[in-house]
Amino acid sequence: MYIGDYLGRREIYSPDTLAIIDAGKDPELRLTYKQWNQRVNRLANWLSDTAKVGFRDRVAILARDGIEHLDSFYACGKLGAIHTALNWRLHWRELIALIEDTQPKVLIYSDDFIDSVREIEKAIHATGYRIPCYLHIEGQGIANSLHFESTLQSAPDTPVINDRVTKEDIACLLFTGGTTGLPKGAQISHRQVAWNVLNTVIHDLAHDDTYLCVFPLFHAGGLFAYVSSQIVFGNTTILTRIFDPEQVLNLIEREHVTIFAGVPTMYQGLTQAPNWDSADMSSLRFCTSGGAPLPVPLVEQYTREKGIRFKQGFGMTEFGPGLFALPPEDAIRKAGSIGRPNYFVDVRIVDEHNKPLGPNQPGELILRGPSGFSGYWNNPEASSAALDDDGWFHTGDIVEYDDEWYFYVRDRKKDMFISGGENVYPVEIENVLYKHSAVHMCAVVGLPDEKWGEVGLACVVLKPDANASEEILMEHMRAHLARYKVPKRVTIMEALPLSGMGKILKRELREEFIG
């Protein structure tokens, strides 16, 4: 098979099968595999002939979920170019650094982010670098921007191939939050995509499944967890623009959705939708939950009221993304567990000397196998730190397993916490706080929250004679950080608890405020 031309092969096998329903469009867009492959061929031809995108060039996208994300990914696959998915939740100042690092030849964007794109264009123009082509999905767009759909209509749908592409070439870049500095671009190869498909199939995908995707497509969970497998299988995938609980329940019923995946806050949101009581969810074979432990009372409510079977998973951008799975029959018996490793993932729990540990001994989770990533973009130091000489990926997560080989996460990447399914790294927030002239010392910790799972609390000690209110510090963070990273509140303290070495004892802070 020609590596990267996934849709070309699927058109041969099932040209008239419904491939995509983009429910975020008005009217909805419904495409067969033949129609979709022709569409993607047009984009690939335009990228190649007009935008001069070639082998290993980057095509970036900053947009809400929609068919355009997948158009870009599969068009890049045909060309051997690299789809570069930007997190639209980031502040435009953060996005500038990522764009300067990857230097895309094309930036595709939706109207929601036109103000950010204007700021990005001004900022990078001042540095001497320019993005050669801009494509806007709707609206008027910035000056010199072309309309996405118009470019498709202007290009031929002749097949596009590039025989130079191998399984180890990079299909896309997905950015992971770092504990310090710029988010790292995980390099996802065509090999990783294929092995993720195989792990997902073993995870219980069938040839006639309909999947409703509500994960952001700049996430590995959105772009790969089920979507890529659905396409290889020739199944139907439904996209939504944003997560709307009422719409999700209507789509499940109307389209006879068989697989749905979300984070716990989404499942909580569905139960509060106005149509929850009347919604028919009987078509679902199972639901998958990830990003944080699923509360047992929520599992019980879904089982009792809707007859839903839950799978729970654990993954990360750099590997898979699917790593562990907890089957429905264990959802309550093994509550809190991430389950067992997926079939083609090798795992170890090791101590600080990299020696394997046995059951009920917490240590670092390390991973190896064919579904692993290919290092970080333009960051050999981070790649070397994450991958050891034997090819093991060091996650930094503290994990243990029990006598039945069920795994439990005990601490996630030191101080990181998860808010609404998004990783939040306190050091990044603290670095912003320290830029304020009034801040002497600070620490950010994650606290439990019924809606978001966890939210941030910023504990701040002011400099002597300095004057800054909690609201002023909140505004300072809002001006420099993505909204989901901004702590829910700030508390100004006289001192922070310190160890004998002078390190801030975040565990004590967390315990103090949890009570």
DSSP assignment string, 120-145: HHHHHHHHT---SEEEESSS--STTP
Q: How far apart are CA 333 and CA 292, in angstroms?
A: 17
At position 360, the amino acid (one-letter code) is N
Q: Name the residue among 370, 62, 74, 368 with its Cα closest to residue 224.
A: 74
pLDDT at res. 180: 47
Q: How far apart are CA 7 and CA 41, in angstroms?
A: 9
Q: How far apart are CA 370 and CA 195, in angstroms?
A: 6
pLDDT tens for each residue of 245-292: 999 999 999 999 999 999 887 898 899 899 999 999 999 999 999 877
pLDDT at res. 501: 46
Q: How far apart are CA 331 and CA 272, in angstroms?
A: 22
Tokens representing 240 are: 């939504």
Judged against a pLDDT cut of 70, whether residue 52 lies above it is answered with: yes
Tokens representing 9 are: 């092969």
pTM value?
0.85
pLDDT at res. 127: 80
CB atoms within 10 A of CB 169: 21
pLDDT at res. 129: 85
Q: Where in the chain is the domain with CATH 3.30.300.30?
A: 417-514
Q: How many residues does the chain have?
A: 515
* Homologous superfamily (CATH) for 6-242: ANL, N-terminal domain (3.40.50.12780)
- Average pLDDT, whole number, for the chain? 92
Q: Which stretches of 403-515 are DSSP H helices? A: 426-433, 470-478, 506-514
pLDDT at res. 398: 84
Q: How far apart are CA 279 and CA 246, in angstroms?
A: 9
The crossing angle, in degrees rounded to 10, of helices 245-255 and 264-271 is 80
Tell me the pLDDT band of 126, cut-offs 50, 70 and 90.
confident
| Edge-to-edge strands, sheet with 363-368 | 346-350, 363-368, 393-401, 407-411
Is residue 61 within 8 Å of 76, Cβ to Cβ?
A: no
Bridge-partner residues for 491, per DSSP? 459
E-strand ranges in 255-318 read 259-262, 286-289, 310-316
Is residue 135 within 8 Å of 109, Cβ to Cβ?
A: yes
Q: How far apart are CA 297 and CA 268, in angstroms?
A: 11
Q: Where in the chain is the domain with CATH 2.30.38.10?
A: 289-411
Tokens representing 479 are: 């001006």
Tokens representing 504 are: 């801030």
Is residue 211 within 8 Å of 235, Cβ to Cβ?
A: yes
Q: Is the dihedral of CA 281, 286, 289, 294 positive or negative?
A: positive
Tell me the pLDDT band of 502, cut-offs 50, 70 and 90.
low
What CATH number labels 289-411? Answer: 2.30.38.10
| Edge-to-edge strands, sheet with 58-62 | 146-147, 133-136, 106-109, 58-62, 82-85, 170-176, 184-189
CB atoms within 10 A of CB 100: 14
Q: Name the residue among 204, 208, 212 with its Cα closest to residue 281.
A: 212
Which CA distances in Å does 427 have to 132, 227, 349, 431, 499? 35, 33, 26, 6, 18
Judged against a pLDDT cut of 70, whether residue 411 lies above it is answered with: no
Tell me the pLDDT band of 414, cut-offs 50, 70 and 90.
low
Strands 422-424 and 340-341: unpaired
Tell me the pLDDT band of 410, cut-offs 50, 70 and 90.
confident
417-514: CATH architecture: 2-Layer Sandwich (3.30)
Tokens 């001004």 correspond to 122
Q: How far apart are CA 395 and CA 451, in angstroms?
A: 27
Q: How far apart are CA 476 and CA 222, in angstroms?
A: 31
Is residue 120 within 8 Å of 97, Cβ to Cβ?
A: no
Q: Is the dihedral of CA 25, 30, 36, 42 positive or negative?
A: negative
Q: Name the residue among 436, 427, 416, 491 with its Cα closest to residue 460.
A: 491
pLDDT at res. 341: 96
pLDDT tens for each residue of 133-152: 999 999 889 989 999 999 99
Q: How far apart are CA 283 and CA 315, in angstroms?
A: 26
Tokens 């390190």 correspond to 503
